[in-house]
Amino acid sequence: MTRQELFENIKKKQSFLCVGLDTDLKKIPEHLLQEEDPIFAFNKAIIDATAPYCVAYKPNLAFYECFGLKGWMAYEKTIKYLNDNYPDQFIIADAKRGDIGNTSAMYARCFFEGDTQADAVTVAPYMGEDSVSPFLTYEGKWVICLALTSNKGSHDFQLMEDAQGERLFEKVLKTSQNWGNADNMMYVVGATQGRMFEDIRKVVPNHFLLVPGIGAQGGSLEEVCKYGMTKECGLIVNSSRAIIYADKTENFAEVAGQKAKEVQMQMAEQLKNLL
C-alpha cells in the first residue's frame, strides 16, 4: 500500500485507528475456547465488527508464537482473512525483529512473501543499517522502526544524549532516513510520550508514526494529535486491549465494534483540523 492510498483510506473512513490483535487465550470469551481455532475465531469476529472504523490491524507476533504451531496457523489464517476480505486494511506484523543482514533478509521473506503478506513489519534499530535495510527491498512494503516507545523502559536507553545533546531516538530517526524515506518507513512513537512528539516532528516532519499506548497504557489521543499530526495525518494510532477485550460475553465483537466506533468519532474530530 502506498502512502497516498493510506491517506485516502484515512480520509474516507475518517479514522486513523489501528486495532491491535493481541489475542490471548486467557482473555478471550470462554465460549470461543470450544471453537476449533479459538484465536482465529476471535480475530475474525473482531475484524468483522471493527473494520468500518479502522484503517489498520496489527497482530503482535508474541501472542501467536507463544502457542507454537497452533498460534502460527492462527496468525496465517488471520492475515489471509484480512487480505482476502479487507484489502484496503493496512496490515502491520508487530514483530520487532532485527538481526544481521542475511538473517533480517529471512525475516523479511517471512513477513513480505508468500500467501500471508503483511504491509509492514516493526523493526528494532539496535543492530543498525544492515539489520533494517533487507526489509526495505520490497516494493510497496513498509518498515516501522522503533524510535521512542510507549513503555517505562523507553527511558533506559532511548533518551541517552550525546555530547551535542542529540538523543538516541533522534539519532535513530536521523540515521535511518539514509536507509529509507517517508514512502517506505514509519516510526513507533508511544502515545505516552506527550510533548515529545514536537521533538519527533522536528526530525521527521512528514513520516507516518505508528502510535501505541492509548487505552490500556494511558496515552492521550488529543495530545498525540496536537503535537504529532501532519497535513497528511501522519498518524496511525493503535489500540489493542481497550477495544478487543472491552467485553467478555457473547457480545464481545459488538462491544469491540462500538469501542472502535467511539475512537473513530474522536479521530474524525481531530481530522477536522486537517481538512
Give the C-alpha distances (Å, rounded to integers) separating 262 from 34, 98, 185, 242, 250: 30, 35, 29, 11, 20
Total Cβ atoms within 10 A of residue 39: 25
Active site residue 226: no
Total interface residues for a second copy by CB under 8 A: 57
User: 77, 96, 171, 226: which one is catalytic?
Assistant: 96
Q: 160 vs 265, which CB is nearer to a second copy? A: 160
In the region spanning residues 210 to 229, those forming contacts with a second copy, defined by CB under 8 A, are 212, 217
Q: How far is the CB of 95 from a second copy (least distance, A)?
A: 9
191: phi then psi, degrees, rounded to nearest 5? -60, -25
Q: 59 vs 257, which CB is nearer to a second copy? A: 59
In the region spanning residues 53 to 72, those forming contacts with a second copy, defined by CB under 8 A, are 60, 62-63, 65-66, 68-69, 72
27 binds a second copy (CB under 8 A): no
In 3D space, the residue among 187, 231, 233 whose CA is nearest the CA of residue 15 turns out to be 233
Reading the block at residue 235, the C-alpha cell is 498518524
Among 8, 37, 48, 76, binds a second copy (CB under 8 A): 76
Total Cβ atoms within 10 A of residue 197: 23
Among 34, 84, 139, 152, binds a second copy (CB under 8 A): 152
| Whether 144 contacts 117, CB under 8 Å | no
Contacting residues for 151 by C-beta, under 8 A, at least 6 apart: 190, 192, 217
Q: How far is the CB of 159 from a second copy (least distance, A)?
A: 10
Total Cβ atoms within 10 A of residue 34: 8
213 dihedral zone (left: phi>0; alpha: psi -120 to 50; beta) = left
Burial class (CB in 10 A: 0-12, 13-18, 19+), 225: buried
130 binds a second copy (CB under 8 A): yes
33 binds a second copy (CB under 8 A): no
In the region spanning residues 88 to 127, those forming contacts with a second copy, defined by CB under 8 A, are 94, 96-101, 103-104, 106-107, 109-110, 114, 116, 124-127
> Which residues carry out catalysis?
96
Which residues here bind a second copy, judged by CB under 8 A? 22, 24, 60, 62-63, 65-66, 68-69, 72-73, 76, 94, 96-101, 103-104, 106-107, 109-110, 114, 116, 124-132, 146, 149-158, 160-163, 168, 171-172, 175, 212, 217
